[in-house]
A and B are shown apart, each in its own frame.
Chain A
Amino acid sequence: MPTVIVDGKEIEIGAHERLNCIEVARRAGVEIPHYCWHPGLSVVASCRMCLIETGTRDAATGKITMMPKLVPGCQTPAKDGTVIVTDTALVKDSRARVEEALLIDHPIDCSICDKAGECLLQDYHFEHGQAERRTDLNPFHSRRRDVGPTVTLFVDRCIMCTRCVRFTREVSGTSELMVVNRGSKEEISVFPGYPLDNKLSGNVVDLCPVGALGDKDFLYQQRVWFLKRESNVCGGCSAGCSIVTEHNQDTVYRLKPRENPHVNKWWICDDGRYGWHHLHDPARLLSAGRLVSSNDDREAVEWSDVTTRLRQELSGAGRLAVAVSPMLTIEEAWMLCAVARSIDQQAALFVGHVPVSGEDESFPGGFTIRAEKCPNRRGVEAVVALFQSEERSWSDLVAAVGAGEFDSAWITAGYPHAWIDDTTAAPFGRLRALVVQDLFESPLSKLATWRLPAAGFAERAGTWVNAAHRAQVFAAAVRAPAGVWPEGRLYWNMLGRRGLYDPAAVRRQIAESSATLAALGGEIPAVGVDLRIDQIASS
């Protein structure tokens, strides 16, 4: 195995790994500061913050020869015998000088900057900068320039790392951003009439190491040190991007991508990034309602009563059909199927409505936005298959209800957007009992005898399986609004299980009973697990 020496410590790397000095040092627990380098972008080595001393150790004699000058860690590949030294006076001086130089043109307006608290310039200055100011400063400006519908640029805060420019060239392939002017008068800008307007535009804000690029959606909403972070999975489409939900007091403020080499690398799309506003929409259903008369007159029912009354009513209502929404987690779907079968042993199970919009959209950097706008169709299909051999879809259900095959139905939905029209909903009005569980009022929920509120994506806990068969486990980031029981809690209670809803317990149970989902029985890493690989191994 190739061995690299980082500050005197030997680190083994994989024989075929192509790593630079920053990556290897990180494995050794040494942080080499850097601005312009990003693992998802090309190397420009222009910020010069990652300058280190390097050398080589002769394999035969063990003699170490150092290079006379500093080299950028991002540009220097680490090979067998590479020696990396990051703590010499030369390196420290060079970092301090780069920090000093960057502050010459930086307005240091941290007190009014959204990035304060998660700013690399701040962090590195505390760690590597010098307390004394020696430079002549320009009078401060705070020029702000819109570069697109989602992103605004604070021109003077920029340190010209060009990560954003490279992102639009290499990942989104849209090339809106560019560098104008020269030398210390350089600025990031867009071509006149061509704003930064693409489906990945929000990523440039994450990439910006300082407060130059601001997300208009988040700007001045919350100080970042008040935010709590919960690992989550985006429910916007079947790509299932790993995200971090940042929230405070049960209010979501922004979503950020979470690095996952198997799914989304470092990026998420703008649809997903800004797709959390429905969580706090005042139009959300916030209580369980039982229809008492035909003109949509509803009584609010306490949740403790819902569990018993629902079971009673559905038991007496004849043949039951259940639509298992692809917005549900595997655990919720499994418990829903179990509840349905405990009410009616012949209950027919259908995979709920799968919203599709347009075509899959791929970008040059390898990122794909899926046309299927739900996170867990594969997971729900796998769960339903455990209970019923025949695979039946939402359109089968609509047809069967129209043909009068069923007397009652339980429709789970939870879609953030309008998903059903009056014509499709009409046949459901003839059922003796109709339970609809959804985020918002819809033509279908108007017909429901029981209208139950659903949870939003950040309020759920459990497992989703994306289009590439990768199962990712997540916890709820925020609590559901008062009056809403997330589906998992309701089903848990209806199954008569004790204590709080425990997705892990359900997951273990599913894994034991299913070959396709057996991989869920073990410890699941943050990047998820590919369900197909385990199947091949076990067959």
Chain B
Amino acid sequence: MTTFQPVLLEAVGVAGSHTLASYRSRGGYAPLERLLKEKQPADVIELVKSSGLRGRGGAGFPTGLKWTFLPKDHPGPIYLCINADESEPGTFNNRILMEDDPHQVIEGIILSAYATRATTAYLYLRYEYPQSWDRLQGAIDEAYAAGLLGKNIQGSGFSLDLYLHRGAAAYICGEETGLIESLEGKRAWPRIKPPFPAIEGLFRKPTVVNNIETMACVAQIARRGVDWFRSIGVPADPNNPRDPGSYGPKLYCLSGHVERPGCYEAPLGITARQLIDGHGGGVWKGRKAKAVIPGGISMGLLTEAELDTPLDFAGPGKVGCLGLGTAAVVVIDETVSIVDFLHNSCRFFAHESCGQCTPCREGTAWSLRMLERIRAGKGRLKDLDLLAEIGNTMGMMPGSTICGLADGAAWPIKNAIKKFRGEFEDYIKRTNPSGWMVTDPVPALPIVGAH
């Protein structure tokens, strides 16, 4: 696996890699110019579709298929939104791409806009990425000057305007309809679906929302071809007609308690153990891993025994996780209390819940309150049942919320209680020897060890 040559990250470490000249010297924009000349938009959609590219933002929806949902011969504008509101804890692959190789992203954007017939694209950048902002803006200016953006790109008759939009630092803006609302200048409350953005999105017009890494993949597919892309990764399961396979390279963000954290490019399907031991140099300080987050905190937890799970789109789901997510692998070593981990996770989601749907707004806050109480030495075994119930009933999957944030908040709770229940019980019995068995409601307390 270590023999895999990085493609998406090939420019990392190259001096001046973010400039147009550097990108061109690596063969950049040539595929774009060729495709604009030779191919129709439908051909580009077909190209991406046949490559089996699945969205890298988290849900893993096939990109080409998403594009085909746009209405045919739509008379008005179609918008392309690029989601760079990378806010899943542990995730930083978009930042690397935007900072080190922004032109690769822009080439992908132009190709995607050409395929979807969008003439306006918005890049929604998370607030906390000033370096990405500078590099992207510089690259956009260069592209305009070189006739790669703007009116009549390279004489092809195709025009595209690309705007950078900086968010205001909210997790929910990464949800595609929350992003659209935010772009429209409103409070980022995810919209009810249907209608899906492909029919009615930004400014009530057909809209495609894609991730930065997906755009980079589109550029690489255009350059290296479908066969190259399909030669990497995990093919579709022939026994499961609904599995579109996991093709192509993927950027894994490895962080937490490893010797060498970082963003590593590997073929989809690498196992968590290969990633940690091969790329990350193993768990730090010679310790063992207690748990590993497979793809951002909202995906749940892998136990040490589950580390041989392949990190493709189907893998983590087989061991009870939500999915691959953003492929942000966070290693938690054996010294960490799982109670502390879950408290931190609940605190994040209680803070980031947009507050629209009752189950998520109140459920995330309630779970946080319970974990604060447990950590304050007032836990009861009954709390674990309540937490599990919240975990099982909150989210888009049981149908109780509009967007998937609640599922993301529920999964760590669900996984932690299920896979580490023994540790929770020990903790509660140890810290609350007199009250762990109580099942009465908890009276209102003025202060319950908030910090």
Contact = CB atoms under 8 A, between A and B. Distances in A.
Interface stretch (B49-57, B206-214, B275-283, B399-407): B399-407
A484 interface: no
A182 B170 contact: yes
26 contacts: A45-B402, A46-B189, A46-B402, A48-B358, A48-B401, A70-B398, A70-B400, A93-B393, A94-B400, A101-B359, A101-B363, A105-B365, A134-B386, A135-B366, A136-B369, A136-B445, A160-B355, A160-B358, A181-B355, A182-B351, A182-B355, A183-B353, A183-B354, A183-B355, A183-B361, A184-B353
Chain B interface secondary structure, helix, strand, loop or mixed?
A: loop
A136 B350 contact: no
Given A69-B398, A135-B441, 18 more contacts: A44-B192, A46-B402, A48-B400, A51-B399, A70-B398, A101-B366, A134-B441, A136-B445, A139-B446, A179-B187, A182-B354, A183-B352, A183-B353, A183-B354, A184-B353, A184-B355, A184-B364, A186-B361
B42 interface: no
Contact of B444 (A98, A132, A140, A178): A140
Interchain residue pairs A-B with the least CB separation, the first 8: A69-B399, A101-B362, A70-B399, A184-B365, A183-B353, A186-B355, A133-B441, A137-B444
A47 interface: yes
B397 interface: yes
A45 B402 CA distance: 8
A69 B373 contact: no
Chain A interface secondary structure, helix, strand, loop or mixed?
A: loop
B13 interface: no
B27 interface: no
Interface in A47-61: 47-49, 51
Contacts of A401: none
A48 B354 contact: no
Contacts of B370: 136
Interface in B415-451: 441-446, 448
Nearest to B395: A69
The contact size tier of chain A is 35 or more
B356 interface: yes
Contacts of A120: none
Nearest to A35: B358
A75 B195 CA distance: 11
A75 B362 CA distance: 22
A159 interface: yes
B319 interface: no
Interface of B: 170, 187, 189, 192, 350-359, 361-366, 369-370, 373, 386, 393, 397-402, 441-446, 448
Nearest to B396: A69
B180 to A, nearest CB: 15
User: Which of A69, A93, A178, A181 counts the most B-chain CB atoms under 10 A from its CB?
Assistant: A69
Contacts of A139: 444-446
Nearest to A70: B399
Contacts of B445: 136, 139
B101 to A, nearest CB: 34
Interface string A86-110: 0000000110011001101100000
A105 B369 CA distance: 12
A43 interface: yes
B409 to A, nearest CB: 10
A218 to B, nearest CB: 28
Nearest to A184: B365
A97 B355 contact: no
A101 B369 CA distance: 13
